[in-house]
Structure 1
Amino acid sequence: MALSADRPVGGILFDRDDTLVVDVPYNADPHRVVPVPGARLAVQRARAAGLPVGVVTNQSVIARGGATRAEVDATNARVDELVGPFAVWCVCPHGPDDDCACRKPRPGLVLQASEVLGVPAEELVVVGDIGADLGAAAAAGAQSILVPTRSTRAEEIAAAPTVAVDLAEAVALVLARAVERP
């Protein structure tokens, strides 16, 4: 599957856990950050093509009291060191029952990243491993690519508009639709 041929792409937003780094549930320990194989190279390739790259991530560990925002920020900084750098980090600190506008699959994180990057949401592609990532993209008017993992449900794969085998393929699909930004 491919991205829409009639929509230019001006930036990529990645999910953090199980997309850029190996998922450690509720991780807020920088020492436990391990990049997904090929993540650094895929992100470098996108940046080298001139695309702004960012991260949109739900981190309910904060709302659950398992970590502070500073601990999550330190973990994200480690991801930035190992995989990035990223132009923007948008983090939802809320829990599933908090009814916030930012928790994926709601559009808040994607819209916030769009504003910070100066790229219209409809020109962004969200790359993630579960339906909530794709739902946030759709709700914001962005496109999406699913990179399935062991955690991805079969119905999420079936419903995904675009599926890539890994991050390298996802970035290649994006680069095929990328536009030069002033």
Structure 2
Amino acid sequence: MKIVILDRDGVINEDSPNHIKSVAEWRPIAGSLEAIAKLCQAGFRVFVATNQSGLGRGLFDYDAFCAINDRMQKQLAELGGRIDGIAFAPDPPDAPTPRRKPGPGMLLDLARRLNASLDLVPVVGDSWRDIQAARAAQARPVLVRTGNGRRTETEHRTELRGVAVYDDLATFANALIAAQHALPPVR
């Protein structure tokens, strides 16, 4: 099974320090939805693992969260793509559970549900906590420079050694698909 796990805010859609609280505030990053569609069409199952502390803080409710995800899914469907599952941690940073990144809980739960190893699974994020969670889950961390990515790259340059860094989700998706096609056939 070919799996890719993505953070949402800052990777798929524009992020905000005030949280994405409504469909009106949700705006995809240029090329991100097309990138997900390409991954799907190349045979990858795409999942999202996202911290959503705005839920726990009462900044928006589950109906708003679901409406945002529905908008994302509808726009993806128009392009021939989809998100196969969305894991989220609603807990705030001051009262984290193991599910909240940098904890690996969401990623480990996805692996358990899929009965899959995360060894070679790329986990794409824009924040240091995304990289930490991927490492803790024994997955393959990937950083994109969108969202908080440029700041993360600057602040954690040394700790990011060995982590693949891409300008955006589209660049990552193109590289992953090209690498898949460059592999020799299995005999």
Question: Residue 120 of structure 1 aligns to a residue in which SS?
Answer: coil
Higher RCO structure (Cα 8 Å, ≥6 apart): 1
- Residues 110-142 of structure 1: CA deviation (Å, up to 9, x unaligned): 112223344322131111111111111101000
Aligned amino acid, residue 49 of structure 1:
A
- Residues 124-182 of structure 1: CA deviation (Å, up to 9, x unaligned): 111111111111110100001101136332123553311011212211333315899xx
Residue 85 (structure 2) pairs with residue 88 (structure 1): yes
CA distance in 1, matches of 2:54, 2:46: 24
- Among 93, 98, 103, which residue is 2:100 paired with? 103
Give the structure 2 partner of residue 135 of structure 1. 132
Matches within 5 A, 1:36-115: 36-83=29-76, 84-115=81-112
Report the structure number with the largest CA radius of gyration.
Answer: 2
Q: CA RMSD in A?
A: 2.1
Quickly say closer, same or farther: Cα 1:76–1:11, change in 2 above 3 A. Answer: same
Give the structure 1 partner of residue 27 of structure 2. 34
Question: Residue 167 of structure 2 aligns to a residue in which SS?
Answer: coil
CA distance in 2, matches of 1:170, 1:43: 10
Aligned amino acid, residue 77 of structure 1:
D
Are the equivalent residues in 2 in contact too, given 1:125–1:143 (CA < 8 A)? yes
Q: How high is the TM-score relative to the length of structure 2?
A: 0.83
Q: Which moved more, 1:90-99 or 1:150-159?
A: 150-159
**Aligned residues with identical type, % of pairs:** 30
Quickly say closer, same or farther: Cα 1:157–1:29, change in 2 above 3 A. Answer: farther
Question: Residue 74 of structure 2 aligns to a residue in which SS?
Answer: helix
Q: How high is the TM-score relative to the length of structure 1?
A: 0.85
After TM superposition, what 4+ stretches of structure 1 lie above 4 angstroms from structure 2?
Answer: 177-180
Gaps of 5+ in 1: 1-8
1:60 offset after TM fit, Å? Answer: 0.2
Quickly say closer, same or farther: Cα 1:157–1:73, change in 2 above 3 A. Answer: farther
